[in-house]
Amino acid sequence: MRAVIRIVVVGCILLVSAVAHAEKPRLAVLDFLDMGVGPEVASLLTSVASNRLSEIGIFQVISRDDIKNMLSHQQDQILLGCSDESCLVKIGGALGAKNLVAGTVGRVGEKYVISLQRIDVRDAKVIRRVEREFGGSRDKLLDEVRNAAYKVVEDILVEQSGEFILSVSEEGADVSVDGKTVGVSPLPGMEIPAGPRDIRVSKQGFVDWVRTVQVEPKQTRMEDVTLIPSAAFIGDYEGRTASMRRWAWITLATFVALEAGAVGLKTYTLLEYDPIEDDYRAGNYGNLSQNEYYDKYKSDMDRAEIMDYAALSMAITGVAVGIVSAYLFLEGEDPNRYEKFRGVTLLPKTGAFSLNWEF
C-alpha cells in the first residue's frame, strides 16, 4: 500500500511537466534489470535506450533518472523492488504514461541477451517484446540496445506514418530510407514511419546526399535534393554535351545555307529563265518561228529545269537537316548546366564534410 502511495506522489510531481508536452504520448522507461552485466552497465544502457526513444521525436520519454531526481533514496528503493507486470502498470499509470518500456540485460556464457517489453498501461498487458542475442565484444551492447529500443516501438511508428516527398535534381538517382533502397528518382510521395529517418540519395558521378529527416506523424515532409557532380563527371558531361551542341549549330547553319541557296536559285531562274518559257508557252516568238525560238532557247530552258530540280533538292535536304538540328537542340542537354558547381570542393570538418565553391 505504501508503495502505491509513493507512486501516486511521483505522478503528482510530474503532472506539471506533462502539461507542456500534452501533444506527445508519454512513454516511461524503467531501469533495465541487471542479469550479469553489472549495475553500472545496466544503468548506462537504460539511459541509451531512453535517449534513443527521445530522438524519435514523437514521445515524451520519462526515464527513471527523472524520477530519481525527485525522490529520496528511501523512496527510490520502493520502486527499485518493482519488477512484476502489475507493479509496472501501476507505475506507468501514476506517471500518466500510455506505454511503459522495461527490460533486462544479461550475460550467459560468452553471449549477451537483451530483452525489452512494451506494456500498454491502460490494458495492463505486454503488447510487444524484443529479444536480441549476440556474442563478441561488450561494445556492441550500445548499438544493440538502441536497435532494440527502436524495435519495441516500431509498430507505433508505422501506425503514425507520414508522407515524405523527395524532389531530386537528377533523374535515375537511387533513394534509400534507413539503408533500404525504395526506388529511383523521380519518386512519388512515400508513406514512411514517423520519427528520424536516414535518407540517402546517390548517383554515379555525384556526391551522395545524406541527411536525417524528422517525419512527423500524419504530416507531409518535403525535401529538395540538389546532387553535386564530381569534377570528373563535369568534365565528361561538358565534353559530351559540347560536342552535341556544336553539331546542333553546324546543322542549323547548314539548314540556313541550304534554304537560302534554294531560295536564291529559284529566284534566279524565276527572273532569268521563266520569261523565256512563258513566251514559248504563250506563242510569243517575235521574228522567229516556233522551231527557231525553241532551238535558240532550248539550252536555257533545260538549264532552268535543272536549276529548279536543284533548288527543290536543296530545300528538301535543308528541311531534313533542320529537323536534325531541332532534335539536337531540344534533346541535347545544356553544356553549361553544371557550370555553377565548378570549383566545388569537399572540406573535412570534424567528422563531417562541408561544401565550398566559387562563382
Exposure on the CB side of residue 11, measured as CA atoms within 13 A: 16
Determine the length of the chain: 359
The pLDDT score that the predictor gives to residue 336 is 78
How buried is 10 (Cβ within 10 angstroms: 0-12 exposed, 13-18 middle, 19+ buried)? buried
Whole-number percent of the chain with pLDDT over 70 = 80
Instruction: Give mean pLDDT, residues 274-301.
Output: 81
The pLDDT value recorded for residue 346 is: 52
Residue showing cell 550479469: 36
pLDDT band (50, 70, 90) for residue 197: confident
| pLDDT interval class at 279 (50, 70, 90) | confident
pLDDT confidence of residue 5: 42
The pLDDT value recorded for residue 163 is 92
Select, from the ranges 64-78, 121-135, 332-346, the one with the highest average predicted confidence (pLDDT). Answer: 121-135
Asked whether the predicted pLDDT for residue 153 surpasses 80, the reply is yes
Residue 184: pLDDT over 70: yes
- Give the model confidence (pLDDT) of 241-261 as tens digits: 878 888 888 999 999 999 999
What is the chain's mean pLDDT, rounded?
Answer: 79
Q: 320: pLDDT confidence band, cut at 50, 70 and 90?
A: very high
> Could you tell me what percent of the chain has a pLDDT over 90?
23
183-200 average pLDDT score: 90
